[in-house]
Amino acid sequence: MSAVGAAANTQVLLTVDGVTVDFDGFKALNGFSMTLDRGALRVLIGPNGAGKSTLCDTIIGRVRATSGHVYFKGEDITNLPEYQIVQRGICRKFQTPGVLSSLTVLDNLLIAARSDRRWWRSMTAASAAERARADAVLEQVGLIERRDMLAGELAHGEKQWLEIGMVVATDADLLLLDEPTAGMGPAETSRTAELIHSLLGRHAVLVIDHDMSFVEQLGGRVTVLHQGQFLKEGSVAQIRKDPDVAAVYLGRVEH
Amino acid sequence: MTAPRPLLRHVWIVFLLLAAVAPWIVSPYELSLLGRFLALSILALGLVLVWGEAGILTLGQGVFFGLGGYVLAMHLKLAVLTPQEIPDFMTWSGRSELPWWWQPFTSPGVALAAVIVVPGVCAALFAWAVFRRRVVGVYFALITQALALCFATLLVSQQELTGGFNGLTDFSTLLGFDLAAKGTVWTLYWITVAFVTLSFLGLRWLMRSRFGTMLRATRDGENRVRFLGHNPTPYKVFAFTISAMLAGIGGALFTLHAGVVSPALVGVVPSIEMVIWVAVGGRGSLWGAVAGTLLVNFAKDEISSALPDAWLYVLGVVFILVVTLMPRGVAGVIEDAVPRLRPASPRGKVATVISPAGGAS
């Protein structure tokens, strides 16, 4: 593996290096850079259109960077096909729950937990290790009693947890969670925060959200994006007090 | 869940027995129809895999049906000739030599293998080229429809090579057996029943395996599957290829039963009709697809002999009614009426047993 960028530091898992995404003249990301350590938590906030989801899309290969690079474990993954990026150890939960609705909750997790993803291996039964992992994740996300239910029949919050569970079941080193609490009530939101805390260490987690109470419950370092560019980074308390961040959120950008 | 009532669960044995003894029960004409329609139902079974499970609507199944039918028909034309002779229609068109690509089909082994291999290879190459480009949904359906149109047009335009509009007909022997003899007709019928049964069991196994789960997953959310690290393309290509091979087998058996294969059986309209059989029977159900094929085709036979002009209108109305009133087809209606008939797959179990509890969440 070639040592590229900041990968000399083995603690660094993900490096986003000067990424620009240009949609016909509109720069959704404009020279954005960040790094994320193994097992760490990072919360990404920013007003609508700041480029948060575009960043996730770029990391997992759904959108291609116009310029700049994404390195994962020191390897340049900027132009790999999506499924290969996932196989390197990055998995994403989308904003709207993307559960596989006509499959059972267990089957959803078993698909995520497959360790040998070559298609012809699907003719054989799931391995004991895959079943054990799926069961462990069911326990972790609190859906053990929904195991044999169709994913499409779950309540909205449960779908969110199931999708977080699917992302966890891939055993990826980096989990991207795009608005994991969208549509959740306060009780469900705190459960989600606890769930995310239980994942740290084994997985690095990058969370996108703009519910500040959830961000406070999460703690961890916060990166603020604005108009596709890096604005600030710091603890939740620092970001709370920061005048630039407040200005951006209130729509009064003064130069 | 209570144990399914054995009588209901084993109702398929009754149907299989009835199918097996049909030659002694029904008239030769009805047996000929039943043989043809069972051959068509092999194709319909393949559509359950590709359309019902994988959610890929294909309007070009007639192409693979035709390939299977034509490669066998080429052999049947050549089988009665001496090495110097060429098929009659070629002589009429002024040809004096057999085209090179006809020659391998002199061998019955090559022709029989080609019934599966030719549609399979064509389908795999086509599906790989198209699915790799992530062409889905209605765009894919349109491409397959164009394929059916091209295929039928090509067959008609190459009169001296393909028999043109009339197709290939006038067969007399297969592997030395007289195709008109009662023994051959009955044997062919039983072979067809065997192929329906084998296709049914094979597909049921495939659909219950994790491969089937992956197909349904791809249907529900192709992107979700992709972002879980799976490449959906080979799953779709394999499903499409299997369904094309089944269409080829169906086409070959149909050709033997009907004594003819022609462009009128493989073009755009027949390809759409194939989808309608499966829609009527229920695209999520293997036995539904067989039932739908038999139902629609026997109805077609009755109605088009009584009122020749009315058939397409009736078919259109039936299709609209099925799609709007019973989206899961005849199979859906019957399964709802007799819940214990449902397949013992997770889907079935869950939908009948757990869904009431789902309201409590």
pLDDT tens digit sequence for B55-69: 999 999 999 999 999
Report the gap between the CA of B49 and the closest CA in chain A (Å): 15
DSSP string, B223-278: HHHHTTT--HHHHHHHHHHHHHHHHHHHHHHHHHHHSEE-GGGTSHHHHHHHHHHH
pLDDT tens digit sequence for A117-148: 888 888 888 888 888 999 999 998 889 889 89
pLDDT tens digit sequence for B283-309: 889 999 999 999 999 988 888 888 888
Chain A contact set for B354 (CB, 8 A) = 148-150, 153
pLDDT (average), residues B127-141: 90
Residue B123, C-beta contacts closer than 8 angstroms, at least 6 positions apart: B64, B240, B241, B243, B244, B245
Asked whether the beta carbons of residue A122 and residue B227 sit closer than 8 angstroms, the reply is no
**Interface membership of A98 toward B (CB under 8 Å):** yes
8 Å CB contact between A110 and A157: no
Give SS3 for A37. strand
pLDDT (average), residues A154-181: 90
**Interface membership of B230 toward A (CB under 8 Å):** yes
Residue A56, C-beta contacts closer than 8 angstroms, at least 6 positions apart: A92, A176, A178, A206, A208
Asked whether the beta carbons of residue A104 and residue B350 sit closer than 8 angstroms, the reply is yes
- C-alpha A117/C-alpha A87 separation (Å) is 9
Q: What are phi and psi of A17, to 5 degrees?
A: -120, 100
pLDDT (average), residues B332-337: 82
Residue B13, in any domain of the structure: no
* Domain of residue B210, residue span: 29-266
- C-alpha A166/C-alpha A86 separation (Å) is 12
- C-alpha B259/C-alpha B254 separation (Å) is 8
Residue B58, in any domain of the structure: yes
Asked whether the beta carbons of residue B230 and residue A154 sit closer than 8 angstroms, the reply is no
Banded model confidence at residue B341, pLDDT cuts 50, 70, 90? low
Task: Give me the pLDDT at residue B179, please.
Answer: 77
Task: Give me the pLDDT at residue B361, please.
Answer: 29
Asked whether the beta carbons of residue A83 and residue B229 sit closer than 8 angstroms, the reply is yes
Beta bridge partners of A91: A175
Q: How many domains is chain B built from?
A: 1
Beta bridge partners of A37: A12
Residue A254, C-beta contacts closer than 8 angstroms, at least 6 positions apart: A247
Tell me the average pLDDT of chain B. Answer: 86
pLDDT tens digit sequence for B109-118: 999 999 999 9
Residue B182, in any domain of the structure: yes
- pTM, rounded to two decimals: 0.86
Beta bridge partners of A75: A72
- C-alpha A93/C-alpha A99 separation (Å) is 10
**Interface membership of B350 toward A (CB under 8 Å):** yes
Residue B6, in any domain of the structure: no
**Interface membership of A201 toward B (CB under 8 Å):** no
8 Å CB contact between A62 and A42: no
8 Å CB contact between A48 and A211: no
- C-alpha A36/C-alpha A46 separation (Å) is 18
- C-alpha B253/C-alpha B78 separation (Å) is 18
Residue B48, in any domain of the structure: yes
Banded model confidence at residue A3, pLDDT cuts 50, 70, 90? very low
Domains and CATH numbers, chain A: 5-250 (3.40.50.300)
pLDDT beyond 70 at B80: yes
Residue B142, in any domain of the structure: yes
State which residue of chain B sits closest to A106, comparing Cα positions. B346
Query: What is this model's ipTM?
Result: 0.82
Residue B180, in any domain of the structure: yes
